[in-house]
Amino acid sequence: MSRAEAVRAVSPLWTLGLLRSELLTTFRRWRTLALLGVLAAVPVLVGIAVRIETGDGSSAGGGGGGGPAFISQITNNGLFLVFTALAATLPFFLPMAIGVVAGDAVAGEANTGTLRYLLVAPAGRTRLLLTKYATVMTFCLVATLVVAVSALITGALLFPLGDLTTISGTRISFSEGLARALLIALVVAVSLIGVAALGLFVSTLTNSGIAAMATTVGLLITVQIVDQIPQLHAVHPYLFSHYWLSFADLMREPVYWDDLTRNLGLQALYAAVFGSAAWARFTAKDISA
């Protein structure tokens, strides 16, 4: 048992070092940067499209409330572009990016043969897995903030800013609006931890990074489709994507917390179930590559 004791004696700084090296590896990949670039481009595209469409004074979304949430408000207040961009990217772009990064986390290392070198270091599998999960969650946050910041800059450049009207019809100041936008970005990032845990679990099942990414994104699409079928409404509350758009409830006055707390609880449940499943799988896995 001497080796196990050696593991326990490792200083916590070592874990930070491991996390830092994981973060650097992840964020230096061209693939990651390309994903972030695509995410940053979405709000720019939406902003320019709305600007062109409303150039003649007509309202966005055809005035009938079509299109992504909040889109009819963008022309009056650029801050709404943040909400629209998050509402537009959350159903697909964001989780797909998370799926790619999470799916690659373990399977990618196994595929390139670097996983065993990581395990040679006295880190322990549990700790390595936690580090991987922390990295994926950091990516969730960074990806969401990239969308939000890109949307804020685009909105500020193309549209006026100022006091805004909540969807309940009350008015809040611009600074409170900014604070809510930040809170919404955090909630969106947290909404993604369920799919991140799922991706990590899938990643421990296979030695092929591509297979893990494809499975995660495939599951994501399947869940989104199931969520659209009214006959399956009994299972909807248990799908990780079901309460994603509840972040818009933060723009109500007073905030309507029911769906938000349900969303957070559901994400925690997914993280616990698939995180522990990933742990069960990874700590007992044969690492042959």
Partner 1 sequence: MAPYESDDMTTAGDVDEPRTGRRRAARYVVPVTVMGVAAATIGLVPALADSGDPDLPEITAAQLIEKIAQSDVERLSGTVKITTDLGLPNLGGLENSLTSGAMGRGDDGGSSADPSAKLTELASGTHTLRVAADGPDRQKLSLLENAAEYSLIHNGEDVWGYDSGSNEVYHGTVDASGEDREQRPPATPKDFAEQALKSVDDTTSVTVDGTAQVAGRDAYKLVVKPKQSGSTVGAISIAVDHRTGMPLKFTLTPSSGGAAVVDVGFTQVSFDKPSASTFDFTPPKGAKVTEDDAPAKGREHSGKPERGPKSEEDLGKGLDGLKMLGEGWNSVAVLDTGGEGGLPTGGTGGPGGDLGGFLGSLGDEVKGDFGTGTVFSTRLVNALITEDGKVYVGTVTKDALVKAADAGK
280 forms part of the interface with partner 1 (CB under 8 A): yes
277 forms part of the interface with partner 1 (CB under 8 A): yes
Report how far residue 144's alpha carbon sits from residue 224's, in angstroms, rounded to the nearest whole number: 19
Residues 6+ apart with CB under 8 A from 231: none
269 forms part of the interface with partner 1 (CB under 8 A): yes
β-pair type (164-165, 171-172): antiparallel
46 forms part of the interface with partner 1 (CB under 8 A): no
- The only residue of 75, 203, 216, 267 in contact with partner 1, by rule CB under 8 A: 75
Of 40-48, 107-115, 118-126, 219-227, which segment contacts partner 1 by CB under 8 A? Answer: 118-126
- Residue 136: which of 219, 192, 217 has the closest Cα? 192
Q: What is the CA radius of gyration of the chain?
A: 21
- Residue 94 CB, shortest distance to partner 1, in Å, is 16
Of 16-24, 143-151, 178-186, 250-258, which segment contacts partner 1 by CB under 8 A? Answer: 250-258
Residue 228 phi, psi dihedral angles, 5° rounding = -95, -10
Size of interface with partner 1, in residues (CB under 8 A): 52
- Residue 54: which of 168, 174, 160 has the closest Cα? 160
DSSP 147-169: HHHHHHHHHHHHS----EE-TTS
Of 94-102, 135-143, 181-189, 251-259, which segment contacts partner 1 by CB under 8 A? Answer: 251-259
Closer of 142 and 159 to partner 1 (Cβ): 159
Report how far residue 126's alpha carbon sits from residue 282's, in angstroms, rounded to the nearest whole number: 8
Contacts with partner 1, residue ranges (CB under 8 A): 1, 3-4, 7-8, 59, 61, 63-65, 69-70, 72-73, 75-77, 87, 119, 122, 124-126, 160, 162, 164-171, 245, 248, 252-253, 256, 258, 269, 272-274, 276-277, 279-281, 283-284, 286-287
